[in-house]
A = this chain, B = another copy of it.
Amino acid sequence: MPDDGKRAPASPRRQKRATIRDVANASGLALSTVSNALTNRRYVSDVTRLKVLKAATDVGYRASKIARSLRTHRTYSIGILVGDIANPFFPELVRGVEDVASTEGYNLILCNTDYREDKQRTYIEILRDQQVDGIVIASQIQKSDDILSMVEEGLPLVMINQRYPGTVTDYVGVDNISGMKETCEYLWGLGHRRIGFIQGRKGSTAAQDRYDGFVKAMESLAGGHDEKLVQPGDWSYTSGAKAARRMLAMVKRPTAIIGGNDLMALGAIEAIQEFGLRIPQDVSIIGIDDIFVSAMPWASLTTLRHPKWTVGATAAKVLISRINNRDAPISRIIIPTELVVRATSGAAPVPAD
């Protein structure tokens, strides 16, 4: 391509930013006085302050966060580790984090781990080198030594729906156990006796908790569960469809299926329709999370709502409190889920057998 003459605005390469020294010169005051006037850390007479303020706006001064960080060891940025922002579960949660972070003057560095330990490790190193003030961990990876070493280092950390055996950190999550109990009882009350469950990605604490909740609930309702009716998935739509197909192909197929998340439940709907079965007359299907799709009329998925924004916002608040007070007691906040009944669940079919 020949150069068409369009170029980046020629000379105005990074124009020099005004520094605190410029303000000092413009106002005829000392650096320290300018700094104190601007940051309100020490008493400065009103007349001096006004002089400083005027000089600052005159020269267009904005403090360098970098220089400040080097000196104060605070960056006012926090990192967040998520599995994949393109998974519809995360954006709302991240919004919650970002909303309170930005209100509190922090900015948010987004890291997608793809649920991989090596990526998580790399990101954690980067965030530490960056000297973030804290990290929100929502990546769902169950084990990682890096987490331990951060805990030892005293770096503020908050876990979302994720625990590390052997470490005690601030935690925000939903009560998957009770949620699953409510869900199973609801189905049981509708007459369902063969209830299937599609598990989430292996290695995720949330997947484990939801499974445990299912097992426990079925234990108390039915005295146990049929492990063949538990099929593995990986949170994705297609994995949900596949898991459901396996269950529906059984001689004694379930009359209700709980997806470990909405995406898998939605995939299961596709499978159920493939089998020529009606929802909910033949098979009921329930998801977990309540992503925005689930509320749309053609999905209208009954689901156990996970208050994602609130969880994210709460995690950010907890993290920031921790940053401001390292010695406060550990907090462990459990946010309730809510069963949202829509069109995909109903009474169990009259048993044919």
> Which A residues have a C-beta under 8 Å from some C-beta of B?
3-4, 6-10, 12-15, 62-67, 69-70, 73, 75, 77, 84-86, 88, 90-92, 94-95, 98-99, 102, 107-112, 123, 125-131, 151-155, 168, 237, 266, 269-270, 273, 292-293, 296-299, 322, 326-330
Q: How far is the CA of A8 from the CA of B90 in the complex (A)?
A: 28
With A266-B296, A298-B299 already in contact, the answer to whether A90 and B88 are too (CB < 8 A) is no
Q: How far is the CA of A168 from the CA of B330 in the complex (A)?
A: 51
CB-CB nearest in chain B for A293: B293
With A65-B130, A153-B14, A269-B298 already in contact, the answer to whether A85 and B75 are too (CB < 8 A) is no
> Across the interface, which residues of B come within 8 angstroms of A123, CB to CB?
102
Q: 8 closest Cβ contacts across the A-B interface?
A: A12-B154, A298-B298, A110-B110, A86-B91, A13-B154, A85-B91, A6-B330, A65-B129
Q: How far is the CA of A98 from the CA of B12 in the complex (A)?
A: 28
> Across the interface, which residues of B come within 8 angstroms of A73, CB to CB?
14
Q: Are A129 and B329 in contact (CB under 8 A)?
A: no
Q: How far is the CA of A297 from the CA of B237 in the complex (A)?
A: 11
Q: Are B298 and A62 in contact (CB under 8 A)?
A: no
CB-CB nearest in chain B for A130: B65
Q: Are B110 and A126 in contact (CB under 8 A)?
A: no
Q: Are B86 and A131 in contact (CB under 8 A)?
A: no
Q: Are A152 and B66 in contact (CB under 8 A)?
A: no
Contact of A154 among B9, B109, B326 (CB under 8 A): B9
| Copies of this chain in its oligomeric complex | 2
> Across the interface, which residues of B come within 8 angstroms of A298, CB to CB?
269-270, 298-299
Contact of A85 among B13, B98, B127, B130 (CB under 8 A): B98
> Across the interface, which residues of B come within 8 angstroms of A90, CB to CB?
91
Q: Are B65 and A154 in contact (CB under 8 A)?
A: no
Contact of A297 among B128, B270, B329 (CB under 8 A): B270
Q: Are A296 and B322 in contact (CB under 8 A)?
A: no
Q: How far is the CA of A102 from the CA of B126 in the complex (A)?
A: 10
Minimum CB–CB distance for A63 against chain B, Å: 7
CB-CB nearest in chain B for A266: B296
Q: Are A125 and B293 in contact (CB under 8 A)?
A: no
Q: Are B299 and A66 in contact (CB under 8 A)?
A: no
Q: Are B63 and A154 in contact (CB under 8 A)?
A: no
With A107-B109, A109-B77, A110-B98 already in contact, the answer to whether A64 and B9 are too (CB < 8 A) is no
Q: How far is the CA of A7 from the CA of B170 in the complex (A)?
A: 10
Q: Are A3 and B329 in contact (CB under 8 A)?
A: yes
Q: Are A109 and B112 in contact (CB under 8 A)?
A: no
Most chain B beta carbons < 10 A, residue from A90, A123, A129: A129
Minimum CB–CB distance for A201 against chain B, Å: 18
Contact of A125 among B62, B70, B108 (CB under 8 A): B62
Contact of A7 among B13, B127, B330 (CB under 8 A): B330
Q: Are A153 and B7 in contact (CB under 8 A)?
A: no
Contact of A168 among B6, B99, B111 (CB under 8 A): B6
Minimum CB–CB distance for A157 against chain B, Å: 10
> Across the interface, which residues of B come within 8 angstroms of A3, CB to CB?
329
Q: How far is the CA of A304 from the CA of B69 in the complex (A)?
A: 46
Minimum CB–CB distance for A2 against chain B, Å: 10
CB-CB nearest in chain B for A119: B102
Q: How far is the CA of A327 from the CA of B75 in the complex (A)?
A: 31
